[in-house]
Amino acid sequence: MQYTGCRHEAERPHSSLFVICFLSVFICAAALGTIRLYGLYLEHRISETAGKIEACKEINLEMSKKYSELLSPARIYSYAREELGMVNAENIKVVRVNNSDVMTAQAAVYPTEEKTGFLDYINPFVRKAHAKD
């Protein structure tokens, strides 16, 4: 009978290859699980955002309706009559002014002359700026 040696030494390369393959498969499975969980998280966030968008659209539609109701002429007329006590004006007259009358009124306006004293001549900054200007 021949002695072939220890059997464990011959199986050692296969066992280390088996451990490496097992670890690789485990790491890949963990990575895939992590990616799947992250995908679920993103899907949840997307659905929340879509819900918020729908809620904002509903609020926007409601506010648009309220805005159009506030701007309706009937609403404005009733508010002016009831709340502000406004009534329709009677005896409306239009007064037309000729352009020449306006020009003569502007020409008749003269600036008032200021009294100057002795100190005004001495100080050169007195007449430069006033609050009246």
Task: Please write the tens of the pLDDT for every residue from 20-67.
Answer: 999 999 999 999 999 999 999 999 999 999 999 999 999 999 999 999
Report DSSP state, residue 126.
T
What percent of the chain is predicted at pLDDT more than 90? 36
Tokens of 119: 């100190």
- Please answer whether residues 86 and 80 qualify as being in contact, where contact means their C-beta atoms are separated by less than 8 angstroms: yes
Q: Structurally, how many domains does the chain consist of?
A: 1
In the prediction, which pLDDT does 133 show? 45
State mean pLDDT over 121-128. 62
Query: Does a structural domain hold residue 130?
Result: no
Query: Does a structural domain hold residue 127?
Result: no
Query: Does a structural domain hold residue 4?
Result: no
| pLDDT grade for 107, boundaries at 50, 70 and 90 | low
pTM of the model: 0.43
Query: Does a structural domain hold residue 8?
Result: no
Query: Does a structural domain hold residue 81?
Result: yes
Query: Does a structural domain hold residue 19?
Result: no
Max Cα distance, the chain (Å): 143
DSSP string computed for 38-93: HHHHHHHHHHHHHHHHHHHHHHHHHHHHHHHHHT-HHHHHHHHHHTS------S--
CA distance 125 to 119: 11
| pLDDT grade for 104, boundaries at 50, 70 and 90 | confident
Tokens of 50: 């879509």
Report DSSP state, residue 28.
H
Full domain range(s) for residue 46: 27-86
State mean pLDDT over 95-113. 67
| pLDDT grade for 112, boundaries at 50, 70 and 90 | low
Query: Does a structural domain hold residue 54?
Result: yes
